[in-house]
């Protein structure tokens, strides 16, 4: 993976110092090579993490075809590079190496926006068409790779991460009332296309855009989930899912650098690890797998509704099943808390507290062994693995199932902000926007339509929070993490599969379990869903309470511009409420840590809070 950035202005030539500043802010994403292109109206910057074709693929990359001249900066990976290269070679294109960067640039030159429908991969890229004096931006269908931008004084500024944009002189971090409402009531989730700060946006998944002198910025949607009648039988669905899952994993194992997998002992990561293990063994190689836990986790773990069992015994069972080399990463309470601020700086926005910082520390350890890792995100969104999928009452009810503590969250705001914000309306607006954009099959039962609406809520909203977390925490360590379950072919197919087939055998993700039954030991195949592990050590709660207490003792803490100190102080008591802050994992310790992150964010990014 890589970091990309650029400035386009038709009034002046971009400043090389500005571009260097943006590039320097992204070096962690690409420590292997750095590149720069400066033209009359455009400056492009790139930092490269070399994964495929290490000798070639340097960027910005130039292509001349007759009078046409193209410059590309690209972050991502194409998994159908060979097929595209063969098509383009037949059309007369020649390639110096085997990098997907060359293929992508030629694909844009040959097919223009039509190339987007042909790409199977994760990507965010920008193409400067010098002969037309216009910039193209594009982002992958599922939103795996980020692309932030702003338009200021007629200039377009874009980057892989918000922090690079904020290095540009004159670009400020401003938080208005709309941003405050989103921060307080939706974070770490957010509205698609918004980045909390005023005038800061992101290209949405499945979008591309043109920026030119005549048109300004115009955005277009090239892909979204479409409803269609599912005609496959249950057996046919099983076979097709088996093919798609196996093909997606195997395509994403291609690399010129070491590859590993994240292994929690859950269904999704175990499927990926098993397929990868077979793939590597057939080639005379040995897979590396990685698991994370916490010091004294076995001692302090308490089973609950969302975490019914610990990972240890299932990881051990998979280790006996696979021929892989396994690495256990054990995190300590103090380092987990200390990494909260580092994780915030990696994400650029308040995130999932220690759920983020633990992943950041985990990725650092993985990077010592491999450069690329595969992870199981997005299976729950597509196969219906979350608890709210299995409750028909929730599926039929308005609202976001992971945002069930709106009144509780609202109560932390200062009175002057509460007077301006209607909390129910903020959450309802996000819910209704996705619902209105959901394509459903008109003659399908209402229960099936509700399922498709739930899928869109999850892929457009909840899944984006997890993908942002995965990209930011991994790329902070120069680790490329691929997510096979985000293959768009799988998303398109599963979108229309009826619930009775998705829930084969009466268990969550029954379709996936049936399709991949031959790849897993029985205990793992039928393990009840358990999410990413968080610490249960009571010492962590005490550490983050101490961090919040230190903030409360500072009368000038920036946190108080938004939140009521008296309400925050309530989190320091032993009888503090334990309502989920977001999703399944963020309860009292993570809620406290989230406020610690917000305070650091306001200070670190010099956020200007104003009504």
- Tokens 């989103």 locate to 182
Task: Give the pLDDT confidence score for residue 58 in this predicted structure.
Answer: 84
Q: What is the pLDDT of residues 288-319, one digit of tens each?
A: 999 999 987 776 666 555 566 678 899 999 99
Q: What is the pLDDT of residues 493-508, one digit of tens each?
A: 999 999 999 999 998 9
Which one of 474, 503, 525 terminates a domain?
525
Residue 583 above 90 pLDDT? no
Q: Are residues 142 and 262 in the same domain?
A: no
Q: Are residues 107 and 183 in the same domain?
A: yes
> What is the percentage of the chain residues whose pLDDT exceeds 90?
82
> Which two three-digit tokens encode residue 228?
């269609």
Task: Give the pLDDT confidence score for residue 312 in this predicted structure.
Answer: 87
Q: Are residues 211 and 244 in the same domain?
A: no
From residue 482, how far is each of 146, 252, 260, 467 by CA, in Å? 14, 7, 10, 10
Instruction: Estimate the crossing angle of helix 538-552 against helix 588-604, to 10 degrees.
Output: 40
- Residue 444 inside a domain? The answer is no
Q: Are residues 468 and 369 in the same domain?
A: yes
Q: What is the pLDDT of residues 399-443, one digit of tens each?
A: 899 888 999 999 999 999 999 999 999 999 999 999 999 999 989
In this structure, the strands spanning 372-374 and 259-262 are parallel
Q: Which of 273-282, 305-314, 381-390 has the lowest mean pLDDT?
A: 305-314
For residue 199, what is the DSSP state? T
Give the end-to-end CA distance of the chain in Å, rounded to a whole number: 39
Task: Give the pLDDT confidence score for residue 576 in this predicted structure.
Answer: 46
Task: Give the pLDDT confidence score for residue 53 in this predicted structure.
Answer: 54
Residue 264 above 50 pLDDT? yes
Q: Which of 280-294, 370-384, 529-543 has the lowest mean pLDDT?
A: 529-543
Rounded to whole angstroms, the Cα distance separating 364 from 117 reads: 35
| Residue-wise DSSP of 458-520 | IIIIIHHHHHHHHHHHHHTTT-EEE-GGG-HHHHHHHHTS-HHHHTGGGSTTHHHHHHTGGGS
Task: Give the pLDDT confidence score for residue 100 in this predicted structure.
Answer: 94
The torsion angles phi and psi of 16, rounded to 5 degrees, stand at: -65, -35
Q: Are residues 211 and 241 in the same domain?
A: no
Rounded to whole angstroms, the Cα distance separating 594 from 571 reads: 12
- Residue 485 inside a domain? The answer is yes
Which one of 221, 250, 280 terminates a domain?
221
Residue 534 above 80 pLDDT? no
For residue 528, what is the DSSP state? P
Q: Average pLDDT of 109-115?
A: 97
Region at 585 (left for phi over 0; alpha for psi -120 to 50; beta for the rest): alpha
Dihedral over alpha carbons 266, 271, 274, 280 (to 10 degrees): -130
Residues 6+ apart with CB under 8 A from 233: none
Residue 114: domain span: 2-221
Q: Average pLDDT of 164-193?
A: 96
Q: What is the pLDDT of residues 50-102, one digit of tens each?
A: 666 566 668 999 999 999 999 999 999 999 999 999 999 999 999 988 889 99
Residues 6+ apart with CB under 8 A from 318: 263, 265, 270, 273, 274, 289, 521, 524
| Residue-wise DSSP of 412-467 | TB-HHHHTT--HHHHHHHHHHHHHHH----TTS-HHHHHHHHHHHHIIIIIHHHHH
Angle, alpha carbons 378-529-254 (nearest 5°) = 40
- How many structural domains compose the chain? 3
Which is higher by pLDDT, 105 or 58? 105
Q: Are residues 129 and 213 in the same domain?
A: yes
Q: Average pLDDT of 186-199?
A: 95
Give the model's confidence band at 538: pLDDT under 50 very low, under 70 low, under 90 confident, else very high.
confident
Q: Average pLDDT of 252-267?
A: 93
Three-state DSSP state, 189: coil
| Residue-wise DSSP of 128-155 | EETTTTEEEEEE-TT--S--EEEEETTE
- Residue 69 inside a domain? The answer is yes
- Residue 229 inside a domain? The answer is no
Q: Are residues 103 and 69 in the same domain?
A: yes
Task: Give the pLDDT confidence score for residue 176 in this predicted structure.
Answer: 95
- Residue 519 inside a domain? The answer is yes
Residue 454 above 60 pLDDT? yes
Rounded to whole angstroms, the Cα distance separating 583 from 469 reads: 14
- Residue 108 inside a domain? The answer is yes
Q: Are residues 510 and 561 in the same domain?
A: no
Give yes or no: 115 in active site: no
Q: What is the number of other CB atoms lying within 10 angstroms of the CB of residue 38?
A: 15
Angle, alpha carbons 391-528-504 (nearest 5°) = 65
Rounded to whole angstroms, the Cα distance separating 601 from 345 reads: 8
Task: Give the pLDDT confidence score for residue 462 in this predicted structure.
Answer: 95
Give the model's confidence band at 49: pLDDT under 50 very low, under 70 low, under 90 confident, else very high.
confident
Average pLDDT of the chain, as a whole number: 93
Q: Are residues 200 and 326 in the same domain?
A: no
- Residue 308 inside a domain? The answer is yes
The torsion angles phi and psi of 442, rounded to 5 degrees, stand at: -55, -40
Which one of 525, 550, 568 terminates a domain?
525
For residue 99, what is the DSSP state? -
Rounded to whole angstroms, the Cα distance separating 587 from 5 reads: 36
Q: Are residues 502 and 585 in the same domain?
A: no
CATH code, domain carrying 381: 3.40.50.620
CATH code, domain carrying 99: 3.60.20.10
Q: Average pLDDT of 317-341?
A: 96
Q: Are residues 253 and 383 in the same domain?
A: yes
Q: Are residues 389 and 512 in the same domain?
A: yes
- Residue 435 inside a domain? The answer is no
Task: Give the pLDDT confidence score for residue 311 in this predicted structure.
Answer: 83
Give the model's confidence band at 475: pLDDT under 50 very low, under 70 low, under 90 confident, else very high.
very high
Number of H helices, E strands in the chain: 25, 19
Beta bridge partners of 259: 372
């Amino acid at each position: 993976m890589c970091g990309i950035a650029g400035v386009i202005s038709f009034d002046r030539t971009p400043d090389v110092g500005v571009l260097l500043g943006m590039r320097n802010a992204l070096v962690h994403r690409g420590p292997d090579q750095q590149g720069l292109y400066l033209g009359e109206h455009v400056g492009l910057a790139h930092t490269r993490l070399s994964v495929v074709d290490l000798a070639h693929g340097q960027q910005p990359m130039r292509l001349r075809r007759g009078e046409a001249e193209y410059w590309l900066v690209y972050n991502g990976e194409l998994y159908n590079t060979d097929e595209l290269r063969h098509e383009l070679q037949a059309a007369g294109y020649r390639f110096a190496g085997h990098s997907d960067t060359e293929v992508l640039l030629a694909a844009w030159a040959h097919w223009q926006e039509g190339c987007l429908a042909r790409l199977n991969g994760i990507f965010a890229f920008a193409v400067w068409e010098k002969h037309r004096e216009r910039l193209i931006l594009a982002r992958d269908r599922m939103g795996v790779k980020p692309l932030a931008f702003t338009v200021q004084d007629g200039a377009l500024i874009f980057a892989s991460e918000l922090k690079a944009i904020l290095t540009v002189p004159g670009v400020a971090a401003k938080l208005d009332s709309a941003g405050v409402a989103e921060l307080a009531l939706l974070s770490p989730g957010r509205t698609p296309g918004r980045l909390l700060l005023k005038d800061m946006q992101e290209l949405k998944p499945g979008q591309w855009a043109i920026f030119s002198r005549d048109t300004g910025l115009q955005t277009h949607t090239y892909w979204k989930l479409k409803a269609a009648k599912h005609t496959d039988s249950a057996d046919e669905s099983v076979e097709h899912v088996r093919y798609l899952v196996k093909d997606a994993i195997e395509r994403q194992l291609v690399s010129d650098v070491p590859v590993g997998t994240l292994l929690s002992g859950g269904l999704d990561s175990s499927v990926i690890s098993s397929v990868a293990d077979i793939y590597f063994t057939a080639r005379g190689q040995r897979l590396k797998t990685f698991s994370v836990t916490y010091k004294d986790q076995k001692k302090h773990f308490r089973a609950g509704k969302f975490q019914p069992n610990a990972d240890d015994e299932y990881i051990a069972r998979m280790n006996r099943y696979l021929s892989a080399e396994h690495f256990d990463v054990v995190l300590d309470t103090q380092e987990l808390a200390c990494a909260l601020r580092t994780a915030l700086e990696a994400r650029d926005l308040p995130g999932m507290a220690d759920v983020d910082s633990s992943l950041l520390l985990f990725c650092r350890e993985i990077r010592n062994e491999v450069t690329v890792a595969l992870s199981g995100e997005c299976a729950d969104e597509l196969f219906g693995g979350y608890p709210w999928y299995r409750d028909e009452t929730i599926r039929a009810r308005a609202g976001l199932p992971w945002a069930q503590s709106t009144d509780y969250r609202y109560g932390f705001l200062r009175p002057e902000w509460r007077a301006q914000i209607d909390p129910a309306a903020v959450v309802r607006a996000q819910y209704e926007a996705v619902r209105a954009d959901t394509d459903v099959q008109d003659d399908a039962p209402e229960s099936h339509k509700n399922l498709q609406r739930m899928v869109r809520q999850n892929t457009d909203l909840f899944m984006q929070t997890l993908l942002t977390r995965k990209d930011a925490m991994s790329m902070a360590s120069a680790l490329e993490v691929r997510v096979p379950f985000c293959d768009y072919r799988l998303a398109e197919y599963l979108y229309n599969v009826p619930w009775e087939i998705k829930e084969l055998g009466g268990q969550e993700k029954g379709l996936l379990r049936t399709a991949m039954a031959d790849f897993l030991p029985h205990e793992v195949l039928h393990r009840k869903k358990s999410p990413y592990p968080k610490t249960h050590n009571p010492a962590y709660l005490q550490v983050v309470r101490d961090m919040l207490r230190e903030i409360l003792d500072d009368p000038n803490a920036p946190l108080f511009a938004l939140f009521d100190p008296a309400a925050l102080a309530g989190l320091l008591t032993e009888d503090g409420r334990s309502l989920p802050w977001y999703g399944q994992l963020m309860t009292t310790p993570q809620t406290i840590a989230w406020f610690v992150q917000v305070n650091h964010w306001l200070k670190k990014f010099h956020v200007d809070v104003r009504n």
